Amino acid sequence: MSIVLASFEGVECVSSFQEIDTHVFILNSIRKSCSCPSCGHLSSRIHSRYIRVVQDLSIQQMSIHLQLQVKKFFCDSPTCSTRIFTERFAWLQSYQRKTNRLQNLLQQIVLSANCVTASKVTELLRFHTSHDTLLRLLFKMELPTPQNLIRIGIDDFAFKKRNRYGTLIVDQDTRRPITILESREKEPVAEWLKQHPSIQMVSRDGSISYASAISEALPHAQQVADRWHILKGLFDALKESVNQHIPANWKKTEYVQPNEPIPVVRKTDSLRESHEKQVWERSQKVQEFVRQGRKIAWIARQMKLSRGTVYKDLQRKQKPDFRRNSILDSFFFCHSALEHRRKNCR
Ligand SMILES: [Zn+2]
C-alpha cells in the first residue's frame, strides 16, 4: 500500500480500515503553506480544514477510497480579490471526487466502448461509475488543437431535423473531423475560421452564410463546391433539362412494342455500308479469278492484296456485315423508342 500512497504528494497516511469491498485511507495534508491560485502569494495562515472523499484505482478487487483532510488558507495579498482558498494537489483536480489517474483510466475505457458497456466494465473493476459520470468525463476531455490546417470541408448537420442544426468541420488532408460547432450561423463559423488563418481552401455546400463567413474570416482562401453538391447540381440540371423536353400535354398511353425493329440511324452507317459493298465486290472478283484457274499469288499481286486477304475473300459466301456491338446500343434503342413515343403518343 505504501507504493500506492507514494504517488500522493503533500499528504501523509494517518490510518486505514477495510469495509466489505472497500479499503479506506485516512490522509492528512502535511503542507504548512500554500500558494494562492489567483495571485501566487504564498500563505501560511490557515482558515479551516475539511474532508474530501476521493476514489482511486482499485487494488486486488478492492475499491480504494481516500478520506483526505485538506486545509483552507487566507490570501493576505492586499491586491488579490481571493480571500480564502483551498490547497491544491498535483494528483487531484479541484472539485473532483476521483484522482487524476483514475479519471484518465476511465476516459480510456469509455473511449474504447459506449458508456453503458464501459459502466459495466468499471463495475467489474470495482470503480462503480455510472454511465452518466462516464459521459461527463468524456465531454471533459480536451480535444487536440489542429495546427496548420490547409484544406478543410465544412457542412451542416441536424441535431434535430427542422429544429436545431450544427456545423461539422473536417480536415480534408487527414479526412478526420476537427470540430463541431453548435450552430450553422455566420458568426460562430467566422469566429472559428479566424483562429485558423493557415487555411487555403474550404470545400462547402451552397450555403450563403458559410460563403460570407469564409469571405469575412479568410478572404484569401479559395472556396470550392464539395463533390456531393456538384453531383447533386448536375443531377438536378439533368432532370430539369429532361423535363423541358417532355410535352406538357403528354397523355399517358401504354407503350406498344412495334412489330418491326425501330431503325437505328448513325452517321457512320453509310460509310460502313459502302465498305461492306466494296469488300463483297472484291470477294466476288477474287472467286471469279480462282474459277478461271488463277493462282493465289497471282491474284494477290494483280489486285494488290495480301495473300491472307485473298484467302478471306475466298471464304466469303455472302455480303459481309461489319456492324459492331456497342455499349451504347441499348441507349440508341431507348432514344429511338422515346422518339417513337413522342411522335405517336401525343
Ligand atoms: Zn491571492
Please, what's the largest Cα pairwise distance for the chain? 132
Instruction: Give the distance (Å) from ligand 1 centre to CA of residue 71.
Output: 15
| Residue in 31, 26, 22 with CA at minimum distance from that of residue 52 | 26
Residue 217: alpha-carbon gap to chain centroid: 24
Q: Within a domain: residue 111? A: yes
Q: Exposed, middle or buried, 202 (CB in 10 Å: 0-12/13-18/19+)?
A: buried
Q: Within a domain: residue 16? A: yes
Q: What is the pLDDT of residue 193?
A: 93
Q: Within a domain: residue 218? A: yes
Sign of the alpha-carbon torsion through 134, 139, 140, 142: positive
Instruction: Give the distance (Å) from ligand 1 centre to CA of residue 33.
Output: 13
CA–CA gap between residue 289 and residue 283 (Å, rounded)? 10
Q: 102, 110 in Cβ contact below 8 A?
A: no
| Count of CA atoms in the C-beta half-sphere (13 A) of 257 | 4
SS3 305: coil
Instruction: Give the distance (Å) from ligand 1 centre to CA of residue 83.
Output: 7
The length of the chain, given as a count of residues: 346
Write out the E strands in the chain: 11-18, 22-29, 34-35, 42-43, 46-59, 62-74, 84-86, 151-160, 164-171, 176-181, 201-204, 222-225
The residue from 86, 110, 140 where one domain ends is 140
Q: Within a domain: residue 64? A: yes
25 confidence band (pLDDT: 50, 70, 90): very high
Q: Contacts for 341-346 with beta carbons within 8 Å, 24 or more apart?
A: 341/255, 342/247, 345/250, 345/251, 345/253, 345/255, 346/247, 346/249, 346/250, 346/251
List, for residues 31-90, the tens digit of each pLDDT value. 899 999 999 999 999 999 999 999 999 888 888 999 999 999 999 999 999 999 999 999
Q: What is the pLDDT of residue 328?
A: 63
DSSP state of 143: P
Q: Do 127 and 192 lie in a common domain?
A: no
Q: In the predicted model, is pLDDT for residue 331 greater than 70?
A: no
Between CA 85 and CA 35, with CA 47 as vertex, the angle to 5 degrees is 40
Q: What is the pLDDT of residue 326?
A: 64
Q: What is the pLDDT of residue 270?
A: 80
Q: What is the pLDDT of residue 310?
A: 92
What are the distances in angstroms from CA 252 to CA 57, 324, 341, 342?
A: 75, 35, 10, 11
Q: In the predicted model, is pLDDT for residue 121 greater than 70?
A: yes
Kindly give the pairing relationship between strand 62-74 and strand 201-204: unpaired
Q: Do 90 and 172 lie in a common domain?
A: no
List, for residues 222-268, the tens digit of each pLDDT value. 999 988 888 988 999 999 888 887 776 766 666 676 676 666 556 57
Q: 20, 31 in Cβ contact below 8 A?
A: no
| Residue in 187, 214, 192 with CA at minimum distance from that of residue 203 | 214
Q: Please give the mean pLDDT across all residues of the chain.
A: 86
CATH code of residue 185: 3.30.420.10
The residue from 111, 140, 169 where one domain ends is 140
Instruction: Give the distance (Å) from ligand 1 centre to CA of residue 79.
Output: 8
Q: Do 310 and 340 lie in a common domain?
A: yes
Q: Do 71 and 36 lie in a common domain?
A: yes
CA–CA gap between residue 93 and residue 154 (Å, rounded)? 36
Instruction: Give the distance (Å) from ligand 1 centre to CA of residue 43.
Output: 9
CA–CA gap between residue 204 and residue 154 (Å, rounded)? 5
Q: Within a domain: residue 320? A: yes
Instruction: Give the distance (Å) from ligand 1 centre to CA of residue 76.
Output: 7
CA–CA gap between residue 213 and residue 168 (Å, rounded)? 14
Q: Within a domain: residue 253? A: no
Phi and psi torsions of 192, nearest 5°: -65, -40
Q: Within a domain: residue 247? A: no
Q: Do 186 and 131 lie in a common domain?
A: no
Instruction: Give the distance (Å) from ligand 1 centre to CA of residue 246.
Output: 80
Q: Do 88 and 71 lie in a common domain?
A: yes
Q: Within a domain: residue 244? A: no
**Phi-psi sector, 315: left (phi>0), alpha (psi -120 to 50), beta:** alpha
Domain range enclosing 117:
102-140
139 confidence band (pLDDT: 50, 70, 90): confident
Q: In the predicted model, is pLDDT for residue 333 greater than 80?
A: no
Instruction: Give the distance (Å) from ligand 1 centre to CA of residue 6.
Output: 30
List, for residues 193-202, the tens digit of each pLDDT value. 999 999 999 9
Rounded mean pLDDT of 280-295? Answer: 93
Instruction: Give the distance (Å) from ligand 1 centre to CA of residue 73.
Output: 10
How many structural domains is the chain composed of?
4
Q: 158, 184 in Cβ contact below 8 A?
A: no
190 confidence band (pLDDT: 50, 70, 90): very high
Q: Do 87 and 121 lie in a common domain?
A: no
The letter for the amino acid at 56 is: D
Q: What is the pLDDT of residue 334?
A: 61
Instruction: Give the distance (Å) from ligand 1 centre to CA of residue 42.
Output: 8
Instruction: Give the distance (Å) from ligand 1 centre to CA of residue 74.
Output: 8
Q: Do 185 and 212 lie in a common domain?
A: yes
Q: What is the pLDDT of residue 207?
A: 86
Enclosing H/E stretch for 209: helix 208-217
